[in-house]
Structure 1
Amino acid sequence: MIKTILDEKIANKYDFDLNMLKMIIESIPANVFFKDPQCRYQMVSHLCSMLSCDEEGWSIIGKTDLEVQKDPELAKLYYEDDLQIIKTRKGAHYFSEMVFGKEKYYYEIIKEPIIDGDGNLQGIVGIVNDVTELKRLEEKAHHVSITDKLTGAYNRNYYEQKIIEIPQKDNLILSVIMCDTNGLKFLNDNFGHQTGDMLLKITVSIIKNVIGDSGEVMRIGGDEFMIFCYDCPEEQCRNLIKDIREKEQDWKYFNIPISNAYGYATIRANNCDLATAVKEAEQMMYQDKEKTKESYLENLKRMVDQNAQMDKSD
């Protein structure tokens, strides 16, 4: 039910029907509020239960956001925004995130000053729209747009965003690691694409497990991955690659081992060309590939021959 200090005298003064005004405001599919020049709520169309108090007889009317908001930072933000509107007589339009329990909610807030015919400021009128579902859909769409569907790693779109953002950061020690899966075409041709896909998934899982929250894995090609490790000096980067290789030795898919080639470069983001670092990591990776690919392929070929002989004997 609408709560207001408006009375019949005010209604008559401004020549409108109070009951009609109440009906119109309550029919608006949003939360509408009015605050006086002291930033105190004087009318709300839907009293949000999340801002209510268990105290009997409690009301939002006559209180500022400093008194009703449960989040002190949001309370300060809203109150200072109201003061700015009162001071400048200019409205505000922004989006706000609130947390209730374990859930995040998103609101569009539009506020405008109320100025009468004599130029006097009477207060602030505002509308609050719940845009949580829209925001979640946007976040989901964004997540899909930057995620590789097969492996769950970030995709090339995300990589291209990062190579623009990273050089703008100050004093960031960044290690760039490139990874290329050995023998993927041979695996796909002889063991099926499902096998190749699974080994790519396992590779990403291992890398994520080793680097944790300190880095990001991006699939930038069919069998190529880029890893950005933040605040990661060169020695730490070498140890990460060592740990990844060791974990790869523990994994097999239907007795098929995992083999990847790695290369790296370490830079301070604002002092070095990231493109140059990527090229250095790529060159090192190809050198590593020359050392590891052939022996891995030989092992795979022996497995194919053994399987063929077993099929004949059956």
Structure 2
Amino acid sequence: MNEPLTETDLRKYLAAMEGAMDGMAILNEHGTYLYLNQAHAAIYGYDSRAELIGKTWRDLYTEAELERFDNVIMPLFMETGRWRGEATGLRKNGSTFPQELSLTALEGGGIICVVRDITDRRRAEQSVKDKLHFIQVLITTIPVPIFYKDAEGRYLGCNSAFEEHICLTREQIVGRTDRDLVPPDQAELFQQLDRSIMETRQVQIQESSLVCADGSRHDVIFYKAPFLNSDGSVGGVAGAILDITERKETEAKLRYLSTHDILTGLYNRAYFDEELERLKKGRTFPVSVVVADVDRLKRVNDLQGHAAGDELLKLTAQVLRGAFRTEDLVARIGGDEFAVILPGTANSATQEVIERIRKNLAEIVGDDGRPILSLSLGCATALDGEGLIEAWQRADELMYEDKLARQEGSRRT
């Protein structure tokens, strides 16, 4: 059985209530104030506690809030003898404020009431909400795909640009892992990177490719960083994606243009010269060189126009490309001049290819039955790197000898 409190104890408790920062009050069974500390009066905007003694707590709430008390709060309080939650109080000047309220029933009737003004807390919470909303709007508006995952690799959220980039909706992304969204090999790579980021707590940048839900593949750069929880533990990974597909395509196109002839699609003179230099240091000898020159190209240009001449050059490229192996390098090295490098090929084999070209040319005829294309050809073979340039020069000389011989033959006929 509990011992009754002594007068000394009562004085101690009363002093504690008087000094409390929270508003504390005792009400009778009718809800009328019997006691309240100064903090309680101040919270409701009263200068003196005497202004509330004898009044009911219902004077401190709006009609709308009293309706909530009558329909929700007080029924729960009557059932359990206690209630704690948030409400909206009414100050003496008519303004309202958010409060944290605790009600406890007393034996024999009456209520102990503890109230705390949580205006500052609500203001801080609203400030956080405003900032979070601003950040969310900012993330959503940014055209760069952004995503964030938890420590288990599950997507927590993303922006609209990320949805569009991988061709999935937010509902199809959030709560899932990379294994649900991309091919297994990519998922494993991404998860390894995420684990490394969380272990090292370092920002990492990685160039990779990303296969989207529609099957398209994009070249991208991932910018990823860990984010921390309030206790300092790693909460997961946030990242952004820079799509460099167009840049890669442009780079590839520029590389192609730097090494290829635009008209014919063959390698150009610059690449041909580079390959000669490279092969000089290689071990694929013997190396043969074939030089070809389009006969009467100037005449065709003058009489039929440059478009007809261009068609003749493209036909030459087609004939040469079809006559040589994939490992042979076929290039257009001048206006009407072509050259071919044949690694690991002896002169005898090269002569056979030239004869095959001549035979093929004879079968390409126009409506009048005459050959459309005529080529002067020469070839030579180098047995080592030192003789490669000489072989090219010799092939060029033999090509001109072939051209002169063909011109002499034409004059006789």
Task: Give me the TM-score of the superposition, normalised by structure 2.
Answer: 0.55
1:202 positional shift: 1.9
Match of 2:403 in 1: 293
Query: 2:351–2:379: 8 Å Cα contact kept in structure 1?
Result: no
Q: Please say if 1:95 is aligned against 2:181.
A: no
Q: Please say if 1:84 is aligned against 2:200.
A: no
Match of 1:223 in 2: 336
The one-letter code sitting in structure 1 at the alignment partner of 2:256 is H
SS at match of 1:59: helix
1:30 positional shift: 1.4
1:280 positional shift: 1.7
Match of 1:149 in 2: 262
1:115 positional shift: 4.9
| Structure 1 vs Structure 2 CA RMSD | 4.0
The one-letter code sitting in structure 2 at the alignment partner of 1:64 is T
The farther-off stretch of 84-93 and 115-124 is: 115-124
Q: Quick one: structure 1 residues 218 and 257, their matched pair in 2 at CA, closer, same or farther if it must change by over 3 Å?
A: closer
For structure 2, which runs of at least 5 residues remain unmatched after alignment?
Answer: 1-123
1:106 positional shift: 2.7
Q: Please say if 1:258 is aligned against 2:380.
A: no
Match of 1:244 in 2: 357
Query: 1:261–1:286: 8 Å Cα contact kept in structure 2?
Result: no
Query: 1:146–1:154: 8 Å Cα contact kept in structure 2?
Result: yes
The one-letter code sitting in structure 1 at the alignment partner of 2:207 is F
Q: Quick one: structure 1 residues 189 and 12, their matched pair in 2 at CA, closer, same or farther if it must change by over 3 Å?
A: closer
| 272, 281, 290: which one aligns with 1:159 | 272
Task: Give me the TM-score of the superposition, normalised by structure 1.
Answer: 0.69
Cα deviation per residue 1:164-215 (whole Å; 9 max; x = unaligned)? 666788x767855332316457646875674654433222110112236444
1:283 positional shift: 1.4
1:33 positional shift: 0.8
Q: Quick one: structure 1 residues 266 and 89, their matched pair in 2 at CA, closer, same or farther if it must change by over 3 Å?
A: farther
Query: 2:225–2:237: 8 Å Cα contact kept in structure 1?
Result: yes
Task: Within 5 Å, give how 1:179-218 maps onto structure 2.
Answer: 179-181=291-293, 183=295, 187=299, 194=306, 197-211=310-324, 213-218=326-331
Distance 2:332 2:150 in 1: 55
Q: Quick one: structure 1 residues 282 and 160, their matched pair in 2 at CA, closer, same or farther if it must change by over 3 Å?
A: closer
Task: Within 5 Å, give how 1:101-140 maps onto structure 2.
Answer: 104-115=217-228, 120-140=233-253
Query: 1:264–1:281: 8 Å Cα contact kept in structure 2?
Result: yes
Larger Rg: 2
Q: Please say if 1:35 is aligned against 2:149.
A: yes
1:41 positional shift: 2.2
The one-letter code sitting in structure 1 at the alignment partner of 2:316 is T
Query: 1:155–1:220: 8 Å Cα contact kept in structure 2?
Result: yes
Cα deviation per residue 1:76-121 (whole Å; 9 max; x = unaligned)? 2222222222233333323333456675433232222335787643
Q: Quick one: structure 1 residues 51 and 167, their matched pair in 2 at CA, closer, same or farther if it must change by over 3 Å?
A: farther
Distance 1:124 1:151 in 2: 50
Cα deviation per residue 1:228-249 (whole Å; 9 max; x = unaligned)? 456x544765544443232122
1:149 positional shift: 2.9
Q: Quick one: structure 1 residues 205 and 135, their matched pair in 2 at CA, closer, same or farther if it must change by over 3 Å?
A: same
For structure 1, which runs of at least 5 residues remain unmatched after alignment?
Answer: 1-10, 304-314
1:126 positional shift: 0.9
The one-letter code sitting in structure 2 at the alignment partner of 1:26 is T
Count of residue pairs the alignment pairs up: 281
Q: Quick one: structure 1 residues 236 and 88, their matched pair in 2 at CA, closer, same or farther if it must change by over 3 Å?
A: farther
Distance 1:102 1:266 in 2: 49
1:27 positional shift: 0.4
Q: Quick one: structure 1 residues 104 and 282, their matched pair in 2 at CA, closer, same or farther if it must change by over 3 Å?
A: farther
Query: 2:276–2:388: 8 Å Cα contact kept in structure 1?
Result: no
Q: Quick one: structure 1 residues 44 and 257, their matched pair in 2 at CA, closer, same or farther if it must change by over 3 Å?
A: closer
Q: Quick one: structure 1 residues 75 and 262, their matched pair in 2 at CA, closer, same or farther if it must change by over 3 Å?
A: farther
SS at match of 2:173: coil
Q: Quick one: structure 1 residues 102 and 118, their matched pair in 2 at CA, closer, same or farther if it must change by over 3 Å?
A: closer
Distance 2:281 2:127 in 1: 56
The one-letter code sitting in structure 1 at the alignment partner of 2:176 is K
Q: Quick one: structure 1 residues 105 and 189, their matched pair in 2 at CA, closer, same or farther if it must change by over 3 Å?
A: closer
% identical aligned pairs: 23
1:144 positional shift: 3.1
